[in-house]
Copies of this chain bind each other. A is one copy, B any other.
Amino acid sequence: MAEYLKDFPSGPLDQYRKRASFDWKKLKLYLYSEEILQYQHNAYQEFLRHPIFYSESYQTRPLDEQRKIAAKQTMILNNMESLSVANAFANSHFPIIKIKLLMHLNPSTAVKNSISFAMFPSVVQSLGTERHNHYLKASLGGDIIGAYCLTEFGHGSNAKSIQTVATYDRDTKEFILNSPCFEAAKCWAGNLGQTATHTVVYAQLITPDGVNHSLHPFLVNVRDPNTYLPYPGVIVGDMGEKIGLNGVDNGFVMFNNYRIPRTQLLNKTADVAEDGTYVARLRDPSKRYGASLGALSVGRVMIVGICAAYASQALTIAIRYAAIRKQFGPEGEEEISILEYQSHQHRLIPYLSVAYVLDLFSNYLGAVQIEFITEAMTGNDNTADLGLELHAISSSGKPLAGWLVRDAVQECREACAGHGYLKASGLGDLRNNNDANCTYEGENHILIQQTSNWLLKFWPAVMKGEKIDFPLKSVNFLTNAQEILRRKFNFNSFEDVMEPKNILDMYQWLVCFLLRASFEKYETLTKVEKLDPFWAKNESQVFYLKNLAIVYIQHFIIQRVYLTVLNAQDANIKNILTKIVSLYGVWTLEKYLTIFYQGGYASDSRLINFIQTAILTLCKDLKDDAVALVDVIAPPDFLIKSVLGQSDGMVYKHLQNAMFETPGAMSRVNWWKDIKSWKSKL
């Protein structure tokens, strides 16, 4: 048997492992393929050769040490063969698998690694020209370290109001960068706090004629790569401690009339000639728009994968603990595992389905995204529609994944009760790190408006009976929206309700209903109440556009993941995956049940009763498979970072070791003599 499919150590988890309805090795192979499992395995082996990758204890290190470790890991990773950039592109699935691996390794390192060796070079490549090629090489080789500065203290989402200016000085052929006030300081840039030598800076470009040509990107050297001291006129610093991801040195920078050569403008789409003339390059905006939106999706698609990685870690911890932890039992009998309780099943098993669905969905989406970029890089302009669709999917998929995993981790934390509150449970760090996913790469609530605005445009087409066809087929069913809206609830049993096909039908009704309702709401606000479009859009968010974006992406996720289920040959695998998709479907549908009554799709208690029965039936059905299911998606023990979640199930022994191993755990505190003096100190 391949090394990456080794049996788990025998122990208290055996009782559940034996009860599984499927062969976990077959499922793992089916879901990930040999090639991916080998790729992961090679990376794990390489990690294990460097103690820097598994030297963490359960005590929070001082901030400076966390920074140093992440910086060092980032640099070392860049030379690892198994995870090399060349290797990553050998299979379109590898990049998303790689980011998940790195998230399990160290989320801060993963973020720094992405900024340094993926985001910064790709921005320089896509926004610059030949004259910036040496930066690209230097950054890929680690000779310079890059950052990306768009956000300012005063402005994040609304990039148009950015206040940093770059004024061209014809005499010296330089741009003069200036930050008029602290609100205009660039902030939140990863790597900028301590390690970046260079950064991309977005600034309002002003030519000598006084014209503001709006935001443009500049490549700015902020620290001397030899001395690591900032250049005069650059006030650069670290933003200090955050809620999580503390290995990342997020920084701020202010420019005090700092001069940079003209050639530092990243001039792919526009340039300023030596004499100060502004030169825009020709392009076909209609075609490029979709493609560029698609390219912007990379970060968000990766975050869907990051969320999936966190979810698999959290559920591994909580499910294994729930199998081991015993408490109460029927009168006169032995205590039972808490996983046997209906309440506990209902708390965890739907989130286990979330972990699976997000993992499968992100692997699919990651590959699509990589294929899209490869296409777009070859100059293929037929990618416009795919770019638009990817943008809509990633702009709702990232918020949904962030929120689902926020709730999943929290439920896992609470489900592990007291011991879950220990730092050594690993769940606090997962929560603190995942929290950022709700905010960066587009604040969730603002980001989903990208999706809902796009969807809203389809309603007129629906009314005209036009065919709606996009490459990933996420909106194709809208073609039949009028017919879908005539559907009524007509299932006769909870078994019917939990059929994935029927779940998809119900979701389609939801999307169509909310699309029509949102459109009509907006029309009423603008045409009847005469609101200006800004306020009309604003007042159509809650209960309308927000829900629309979410049910759209839920439908698409289930649609995609269900294809993976249908392709399974092994009956046991097909069966277990069907249950997972069903549970994900009915459990997420439950949140929108009122809309079915609001829209007249249902009117009596059957829908609710069937959904509730389906949820409880599936939870109970899956509880004996739960341990084997996490065995499939769990990272190896050295990356789980939890005393509660190790594959040997020796929870109390790991707890004991963690306690005893902590320096000073059983020592007298060195301020013991002071205690007496404090009691009378006033």
CA distance A79 to B677 in the complex (A): 12
Query: In this assembly, does A327 line the interface, its C-beta being within 8 Å of a C-beta of chain B?
Result: yes
Q: Assess whether A662 is in contact with B238, with CB atoms less than 8 Å apart.
A: yes
| B-contact 0/1 string along A34-77, CB 8 Å cutoff | 00000000000000000000000011101110011001100110
User: Which of A304-312, A340-348, A622-630 participates in binding chain B?
Assistant: A340-348
Given known contacts A327-B157, A594-B594, A546 and B343 CB-to-CB distance under 8 angstroms: yes
Given known A235-B666, A538-B342, A675-B71, contact A156–B659 (CB-CB < 8 A): no
CB contact under 8 A between A656 and B182, given known A342-B541, A414-B438, A534-B331: yes
Within A637-682, the residues touching B (CB, 8 Å) are: 652-653, 655-656, 658-660, 662, 664-666, 668-672, 674-675, 678-682
Query: How many copies make up the complex?
Result: 2
Chain A residues numbered 105-156 whose CB sits less than 8 Å from any CB in chain B: 141-143, 145, 151, 153-156
A489 to chain B, nearest CB (A): 12
Cβ of A75: which chain B residues have Cβ within 8 Å of it? 675, 678-679, 681
- Partner-contacting stretch, out of A89-97, A169-177, A568-576, A603-611: A603-611
Q: Is the CB of B682 within 8 A of A76?
A: yes
Centre residue among A75, A145, A532 by max chain B CB count within 10 A: A75
Contact residues in B for A674 (Cβ distance below 8 Å):
68, 72
Which residues of chain B are near A593, meaning CB under 8 Å?
Answer: 594
**Whole-angstrom distance between the Cβ of A316 and the nearest chain B Cβ:** 18
Residues of B close to A328: CB separation below 8 A? 157-158
Residues of B within 8 A of A252 (CB): 659
Within 8 Å of chain B (Cβ to Cβ): is A183? yes
State which of A5-13, A14-22, A290-298, A421-429 sits at the interface with chain B. A421-429
Kindly identify which residue among B439, B445, B535, B546 contacts A418, using a CB–CB cutoff of 8 Å. Answer: B439
Q: Contact between A598 and B609 (Cβ–Cβ < 8 Å)?
A: yes
Report the minimum CB–CB distance from A664 to chain B (whole Å): 8
Contact of A76 among B154, B182, B425, B678 (CB under 8 A): B678
- Residues of A that sit less than 8 Å from B by CB: 58-60, 62-64, 67-68, 71-72, 75-76, 78-80, 141-143, 145, 151, 153-158, 161, 182-183, 187-188, 194-195, 227-230, 235-244, 252, 326-331, 335, 341-344, 346-347, 406, 410, 413-414, 417-425, 427-428, 431-432, 435-436, 438-440, 443-445, 532-535, 538-539, 541-543, 546, 590, 593-595, 597-600, 602-605, 608-609, 612, 615-616, 652-653, 655-656, 658-660, 662, 664-666, 668-672, 674-675, 678-682
Known A-B contacts: A158-B327, A238-B662. Give 9 more (CB < 8 A): A68-B674, A142-B679, A145-B675, A155-B327, A156-B327, A228-B669, A239-B659, A343-B542, A600-B604
> Which 7 interchain pairs have the tightest Cβ spacing?
A243-B428, A142-B679, A75-B678, A241-B423, A237-B666, A228-B672, A330-B534
Q: List 28 A-B contacts (CB under 8 A).
A: A59-B63, A60-B63, A62-B62, A64-B664, A67-B669, A72-B678, A79-B680, A145-B675, A153-B656, A156-B327, A195-B669, A229-B668, A237-B665, A238-B665, A239-B659, A240-B423, A243-B422, A244-B421, A329-B534, A330-B532, A330-B534, A330-B535, A346-B542, A406-B410, A597-B605, A597-B608, A599-B605, A603-B603
